[in-house]
Structure 1
């Protein structure tokens, strides 16, 4: 029975990995420019994003496996869950975590930089002339990557020798004693993870908080009242009328505008400006229909049109989920600030959840019926991931106030895609800490595990609470009952993250206070977006297009469904065949 349950948990994880691979592939294909694709860039970005999301989404598997050793109704371990069996489970999870974290670090610090320089080294003219070989290109990329190799070596050497915290006050419990690292190899990986997470938090605070406020509102405001085929027909008709009127005016003056009257010159200037606006609008409509971008992009836009009527409802639901997540983070942050057992000396580790947290409660309750909690957790992680993407698209890749690259659907260069992937990898590491330690701390540490808080004659005996459910209590780090220490098994990821903050309290302090900046930026942008939604890209839409987009917010449902149907079929309505918009 135990083997079957464990196998089913890992099978669910494998299915999730396959879904993540599809999500990463669609994301990369949708955002990269179709005119300048590179197989090495595409594969690297897809693999990197899949690995990072797989690392975060291993947490429900971790919780499910350690929770499978206990009976939450009886508050005791199951008969098969001997200490050796539990140790085997935690060891296998530790190996998987160390492998994924090491792979994530190598991808972010070595593979992505090498792929960036490998793409930059390509010279089409030199290759055609036979002046550049693969070896020369490889060496050119490798010599630029050597600086990143040096960074990795220095990072692990510092982590190998840097002393850990010697603070012992408030750490008299066995749980915290076990977190103090003595193994130098493990210490190096812990330090590297803490440093990368700190860098990721800087990006996470800026981009993910912005995207979390903008992404749901962006979904709510993307249901236009007029379809793309109809808008294209109207634009073509208006452009033809405009150009015909210009030809009449130019024919009247023989090609010399100075011969026109002041009234006609003003009209000609107005027509010229309007022509540029109409041409720009026509190009944007063609992009919205996926023209010239391959069959997958056209299929993507068709699918988007099919699900457009549900975007309003989905946006509202995601807006509520984002707000509940924000409230959960705020409550846990206040709980940590107030009830942390040793405050800044141990990185604000919270020994016991003292404040009700809605997301944490929902995950703990659903964890009793796996994989319900996995579905909820996956939705939460994908929301934060999509918010990170939306934040990068809104803010752009910048150095201080200077925009370096722009992230747009179908217009992202390979260099920008690689930099965005590296940023997302760092942000997902920060997301891993935020979700585990603030959004759902009890779930991420012990899940639904409970213990029987009843004294026994021998520490080796498991107490029996079958006659009194009131004595069954949730596991926590501060549970000093010998029965709790015998029954409760913390998840591997919580042990690893708490080890980072306890051994290097500086990281824990940065992690903790960064969450308040995250909460503040989200609140400011959310309130601002209620009055005016910022654009999620920098395309210079004309005023008419902006007004049409805002008009879509007030349009009735019938017009929205008509626009959706025309976008799916690619044909305009009967009322628009003469170039006029349907009433």
Structure 2
């Protein structure tokens, strides 16, 4: 029974992995610019996206496997869930987590930088060897950075060495203290990446969590009858203004500087409006635009639903933050780890109730994880890849450069680490730690008898880190919660930074949501026109290439005929 149940969960995870690979390939195909596409860059991007998607989607699998060891109707471990079996499940999960986290770190610090510099080294006269040498030369700095982080993590004293294990009065905390130096080094590296990811999580995920639903609510169809009529009216007004300026200066003295600037601006606007009107006229007969228009009410309802979910998530995060500040037993010295949920958390309550019907809670957990990830992608697309206020790259469908794909994938990978922290420690801390596990508090007078709440469901209590005695043997924490708690407990600075960053996340979400709801979205025709210019340029290049090829064939044919004629004359 144990093998069957856990195998089904793992098989489901493998099927999800195959789907994620397809999603990663589709993502790269949709966003990459065809004219700049590179096979090596595309392969690296797909591998990195698959790894980060597998990392973020491993949380529901982790919760499902841990929850499967406990019978939530009796508050006891299932008959097959003996300590050895449970340890084997946790070990397999731990190996997968360490493998994915290590792969994410290698992708961010080695593989993606190498691919970036390899693409940048391209030149007409470059060879494969020269590109590899050039890319490796620049990637050496990242290799040194990785070695420095590993050595610092290997030798830096952890909390247990600074304060002693006796400082922590719960077995739950003592189990989190690291002894293995290799594991400690990996934990330190992931902690550094987690802090970097938290910055990106605040900058991109928080606005994306607001912009994603608002964009569904207030989105304007790209092509509509209204936009065509507006373009036609605006074009008529524009041409009339141009006629007035030209008539005013028809005397032969020429345009003054003010009129010249205004006329040039009107001429640029005329080209834009002409293109806009043409797009609108062409789009009237496209079936997919009619389908989009028909689905508009459902899109509006989905946007309202997601906005409500976002507001509920932010409320839950704020409640958890207050709960941690007031009731955390170790405070800042362990990153505000919370052993028991003391204030009602709506998202946590939803998960606990949903866990009664298999597998509703796991589906909700997967959808929630994907919602955070998609919000990060939306935030990245809206804001772009920036250094301070300077836009370095834009993420646009069909027009994203290979460098932007690689940098965007790196940012998403780092953000995923912070998403795991946010979901586990703030959004639904109790459920993310123990899933749907419950233990029985019905008093048993006979020694050695296992507590069983089959006939006493009122005495079933959701598992928590504060559970002691027999309850601690029933409750098995998820691997991801244990790993994150180890980071924050052994290196408190990481815990303090990531904890207070969640309040910045909440504040930025509120500001973005209010701004997006108040402002009416405007269609950005500059990007649309830039896209069209690129397409026209590609078509012109293609036409030029065809003409050149034809001319070359004519030359070859003439030469061949000439040679034949010469040969015959001899």
Using the TM superposition, name which of 321-330 and 452-461 deviates more. Answer: 452-461
C-alpha distance after superposition, 1:245-299 (max 9, x if no partner) = 979998x99xx95538999x97x987754442242245568889999xxxxxx99
Kept in 2: contact 1:118–1:138 (CA 8 A)? yes
Q: Are 1:227 and 2:226 matched, yes or no? A: no
Which residue matches 1:103?
103
Give the one of 465, 487, 490 matched to 1:500. Answer: 487
Give, in angstroms, the shift of residue 477 of structure 1: 0.9
Tell whether 2:196 aligns with 1:199.
yes
Q: How does 1:172-571 map to 2 (within 5 A)?
A: 172-224=169-221, 227-228=223-224, 231=227, 259=252, 273-281=265-273, 283=275, 307-456=295-444, 461-480=449-468, 482-533=469-520, 539=526
Q: Which has the larger displacement, 304-313 or 111-120?
A: 304-313
Q: Distance in 2 between matches of 1:391 and 1:187?
A: 33
Query: Unmatched 5+ residue regions in structure 2?
Result: 530-570
Over the residues paired in the alignment, what is the CA RMSD in angstroms?
3.4
Contact 1:239-1:275 at 8 Å conserved across structures: no
Q: TM-score, normalized by length of structure 1? A: 0.81
1:157 equivalent in structure 2: 151
Distance 1:473 1:516 in 2: 30
Report Cα offsets for 1:492-540 as digits up to 9, x if no partner. 1111111111111111111110101111111122222221156697947
Aligned match of 2:116? 116
For 2:209 and 2:93, locate their aligned partners in 1 and report how far apart those are by CA, in whole Å: 31
Residues 470 and 12 of structure 1: CA distance in aligned 2, closer, same or farther (over 3 Å):
same
CA distance in 2, matches of 1:21, 1:522: 30
| Contact 2:231–2:276 (CA under 8 A) maintained in structure 1 | no
Higher Rg: 2
Match of 2:540 in 1: none
Q: 1:75 and 1:409, CA in 2 relative to 1: closer, same or farther beyond 3 A?
A: same
User: What TM-score do you get using the length of structure 2 for normalisation?
Assistant: 0.83
Relative to 1, partners in 2 of residues 1:262 and 1:202: Cα closer, same or farther, differing over 3 Å? Answer: closer
Instruction: Give, in angstroms, the shift of residue 373 of structure 1.
Output: 2.1
Q: What pairs with 1:41-190 in structure 2 (closer than 5 Å)?
A: 41-123=41-123, 125-126=124-125, 132-166=126-160, 167=163, 168=165, 171-190=168-187
More displaced, 34-43 or 56-65? 34-43
- Partner-residue secondary structure (3-state), 1:181: coil
What is the CA–CA distance in structure 2 between the aligned matches of 1:172 and 1:282, rounded to whole Å? 73
Deviations along 1:413-460, one digit per CA (max 9) or x if unpaired, are 211221111111111111110011100111111111111224556875
- Relative to structure 1, the CA distance from residue 495 to residue 304 in structure 2 (aligned partners, 3 Å threshold; closer, same or farther) is farther
Count of aligned pairs between the two proteins: 523
Name stretches of at least 5 consecutive residues in structure 1 with no aligned partner.
Answer: 127-131, 292-297, 543-583
Higher helix fraction: Structure 1 or Structure 2?
2
- 1: CA distance, partners of 2:446 / 2:59: 34
Structure 2 CA distance for aligned equivalents of residues 419 and 314 of structure 1:
31
Q: CA–CA distance in 2 between the matches of 1:381 and 1:181?
A: 28
Contact 1:394 1:537 (8 Å CA) reproduced:
no
